[in-house]
Amino acid sequence: EELARLETLVRSALGADSSRGDAVSVVSLPMPVQRVKPSVPVVPTFAEKMQPYERPALTVVGLLLAFGMGMMALRSLRTPPLKAASATLTLAPAEPAPTLVRAAPPRSADLPSYSFPIADTQIRDRVVQTVDENPDAAARLVKSWLKDS
């Protein structure tokens, strides 16, 4: 009955007349049914779950590293406080001084005789001042002396 109704609707829409030999046929064909598989919910992996937290976590790690390096730099700039305990001297109980026994002077046959000049304090003071002013040159000089001997 539905097909007859559709056929009548189409005849009137087209203006078909059977006296002229016009023919209209309405056929019912089955529509292909596409089977839709039920979708399985996709379970995200651990890496996919953690991806939104990746950048904030790296930022926190970077800030902690920068803070640690800054603290180490500040610690190296700070001078250590003097300990009061190291400045005090402790005195041992008084003991009698040990007695010294004079040894006999060495015989000249045992040791070669050297004559050392008396130290000049002005020269020594100049050497100390030069070493204080230019320690690198003094170190190179000592190294060259050690290499030569």
Give me the residue spans of the domains in the chain: 1-28
Regarding predicted confidence, which is higher, 89 or 112? Answer: 112
Residue 30 predicted with pLDDT over 70: yes
- Of the CA atoms within 13 Å of residue 47, those in its CB half-sphere come to 0
Name which of 22-36, 57-71, 80-94 the model is least confident about.
Answer: 80-94
Looking at residue 108, its pLDDT comes to 58
Mean pLDDT, all residues of the chain? 79
- Report how far Cα 121 is from the mean position of its chain's Cα atoms: 54
Decide: 7 and 25 in contact? Cβ < 8 Å.
yes
Residue 64 predicted with pLDDT over 60: yes
